[in-house]
Amino acid sequence: MAGILQGRVAIVTGAGRGLGREHALELARQGAAVVVNDYGVSLAGEGTGETPAESVVAEIVAAGGQAVANPADVADFQQAADMVQQAIDTFGGLDILVNNAGFVRDRMLVNTSEEEWDAVIRVHLKGHFAPLRHAGAYWRAEGKAGRTRAARVINTSSGAGLQGSIGQTTYSAAKAGIAAMTLVAAAEMGRYGVTVNAIAPSARTRMTEGPFADKMAAPEGGFDVMHPGNVSPVVAWLASEDAADVTGRVIEVEGGRICVEEGWRHGPATDLGKRWDAGAVGAEVRSLLGQAQTPEPVYGA
């Protein structure tokens, strides 16, 4: 397979189905050797005993590519380390990390249990941190040894994390955390030749079949805007050496639409030069709010 990722080595987490599967296939199509990670869980994160990663590996190999399956729980610190080491041992190194694994347990805030909160935050937020931590340590060591790699990280945020989503407090908080993690990691890891970006994909997957079923339905003909494969070419380009000048960005992808998110920015401000009196704060804040951009509405509001 020849393409823009020829000779590069990638890990894609949560790659047995949906977006992750499409990412793994596209990276392989573009020439990368791929570690296809999937823990094999239900939409709610429960073990199923399935091994969907194996079928993705078989598809890649049948098309002439290189791939190996990995069953790690990406939020387990040691298993994440072993997954990174598997890429190095199997293919001789690591150049690309696509953090994609996750699941949902949607509830309105007042109905969310502690267990549901912990599970979603763990798989999304820690499940991004752990692989990135171990891959980053490898890339730092490579750089110090004079073997700086053109390393790329593509994280997965969401419109829920950027604009918020009714009934998805936990998921939105995790995805917002991933966006912030992306900004900091990009600033910290650039010295090692690593770029870190995030995508905010809108596509038809197991996680969107419930709350957004009407929007996500496949059309009878024409361009399927919500097919998850539409997102993967953007991931492949961000994973390429050509994307060296792009880092610390969150890019929304839906169908053929690419949107660079602008995120939090300092807006209108005032400085009294001394401590405020609480009674005077309200008028000043309302004045500043009148000068500021109106926030986009929360999804589902």
From the CB of residue 87, how many other CB atoms can be counted at a distance below 10 Å? 25
Q: Can 55 be counted among the known catalytic residues?
A: no
- Nearest-angstrom CA–CA distance, 69 and 86: 10
**Residue 90 in contact with residue 35, Cβ under 8 Å?**
yes
Task: Check residue 145 and report its DSSP letter.
Answer: T
Q: Can 158 be counted among the known catalytic residues?
A: yes
Tokens 């994609």 correspond to what residue?
A: 100
Question: Which among 175, 202, 240, 299 is annotated as catalytic?
Answer: 175
Q: Show the beta-strand stretches assigned E in 71-115.
A: 96-98
From the CB of residue 103, how many other CB atoms can be counted at a distance below 10 Å? 20
Question: Which among 158, 165, 202, 240 is annotated as catalytic?
Answer: 158
Residue 70 φ then ψ, to 5°: -140, 130
**Residue 194 in contact with residue 148, Cβ under 8 Å?**
no
From the CB of residue 220, how many other CB atoms can be counted at a distance below 10 Å? 6
Question: Which among 39, 138, 171, 192 is annotated as catalytic?
Answer: 171
User: Nearest to residue 254, comparing CAs of 221, 219, 229?
Assistant: 229
Residues noted as catalytic: 158, 171, 175
